[in-house]
Amino acid sequence: MSVDVLAPKPMMPLIIEGLRASSTLHCLWEKDDPDAYLRANAAKFQAIATGGHIKVDGAYMSQFPNLKIVANFGVGYDTVDAKWAGQHGIIVTNTPDVLTEEVADTALGLLIMTTRELSQSERYLRAGKWVSEGAYPLTHNTLRGKKLGILALGRIGKAIATRCEAFGLTIVYHTRTEQKDVPYTYYPTLKGMAQDVDILMSVAPGGAATHHIINAEILEALGPMGVLINIGRGSVVDEQALIRALRDKKIFSAGLDVFDDEPNVPAELIAMDNIVLLPHVGSASHHTRNLMGQRVVDNIKAFIAGKSPVSPVAETPFKGW
């Protein structure tokens, strides 16, 4: 069957080439008048390949009367209204598993950079201060003897936990549902966990249920020697509350890979020294991004072949096309 696939925003060459080889791909950014093109061709599109750069909500999807599948590049699909899709017979797919270990590696890097001030000490060397002022000051924080609380012990959270066990950290976690098959202590509330840990590691998905759940109260509970790491979604952390907590020394430091309004990072955070800031690089190696891109292609190719998609999300279980 010949399928028309819409790509609203630029995607990696592997995806473009893979979709061009198996479908009629419409790259919207190449069109002179994208809005007019969408309107004129809306009934053609049965599949959308998206990278999280636009909001694929009910209003967006309802433009396309024959839409069957939205293939999201990324395991997090908070920019796609999967509940609405499920209610309207549209399958949403994501790219789980293939990025888990890469993101967990990045989380550990960010954790060590933050607790042992590795960015700050490198900046010190590059500024010539090792020569002019002597050794970099000893860090107040360390991973030795610390307790790490993981917010969202899913695939990536578990891969982080495995690494942190090897580092000798005590691991605890908070999710909405207790997991009986893990060896880590469960906290039914985020505040209860924040009060008890030295480091709060968030791997939580975005969306309404997690919006700003790390707020002033949680940061206060983490305490003046507390460290926050966020490798999940920026929307989970109230950035203004975080800025105040860092400025007022309510917590010690933070390491962030994700932000509320990417790629815009608040100037207050950029100006602070007790924070490590990464530009959303959790999965950003050619190796892993290629696997993610191939998953987008494979999900759409499964639809074209009339087969079950490789990785439909929980809100849109596959029951046939």
- Lay out the sheet containing 4-7: strands in order across: 24-27, 4-7, 45-50, 69-72, 91-93
Pick from 54, 207, 280, 294 the residue near ligand 8YV by CB under 6 A. 280
Token pair 């950079």 is found at 113
Give yes or no for residue 235 binding ligand NAP (CB under 6 A).
no
User: Cα separation of 150 and 194, whole Å?
Assistant: 10
Q: Is 50 helix (H, G, I), strand (E, B) or coil?
A: strand
Q: Is 210 helix (H, G, I), strand (E, B) or coil?
A: helix
Question: What is the DSSP secondary structure assignment for residue 28, as one 8-state letter?
Answer: G
Give yes or no for residue 293 binding ligand NAP (CB under 6 A).
no
280 is catalytic: yes
Both tokens assigned to 269: 């955070």
Select 156 or 200, whichever has its Cβ closest to ligand NAP.
Answer: 156
Token pair 């920026």 is found at 234
Pick from 8, 18, 157, 312 the residue near ligand NAP by CB under 6 A. 157
Select 53 or 83, whichever has its Cβ closest to ligand 8YV.
Answer: 53
Question: In terms of DSSP H, where are the helices of 169-238?
Answer: 190-196, 216-222
Pick from 6, 11, 70, 203 the residue near ligand NAP by CB under 6 A. 203
Give yes or no for residue 210 binding ligand NAP (CB under 6 A).
yes
Select 44 or 191, whichever has its Cβ closest to ligand NAP.
Answer: 191
Of 26, 233, 289, 295, which one is the catalytic site residue? 233
117 is catalytic: no
Minimum distance from residue 268 beta carbon to ligand 8YV (Å): 24
Cβ(278)–Cβ(290) below 8 Å: no
CA angle 48, 15, 282 (to 5 degrees): 95
Q: From the list ligand 8YV, ligand NAP, none, which binds 109 (C-beta under 5 to 8 Å, kind-based)?
A: none
Select 99 or 153, whichever has its Cβ closest to ligand 8YV.
Answer: 99
List the interface residues with ligand 8YV, window 68-127 (CB under 6 A): 73-76, 99
Bridge partners, residue 3, by sequence: none
Strands in 40-192 per DSSP E: 45-50, 69-72, 91-93, 147-151, 170-174, 185-186
Query: Which residues are near ligand NAP by CB under 6 A?
Result: 75-76, 96, 99, 103, 152-157, 174-177, 203-206, 209-210, 231-233, 257-258, 280, 282-283
- Residues marked as catalytic: 233, 262, 280
| Residues in contact with ligand 8YV by the rule CB under 6 A | 51-52, 73-76, 99, 280, 282-283
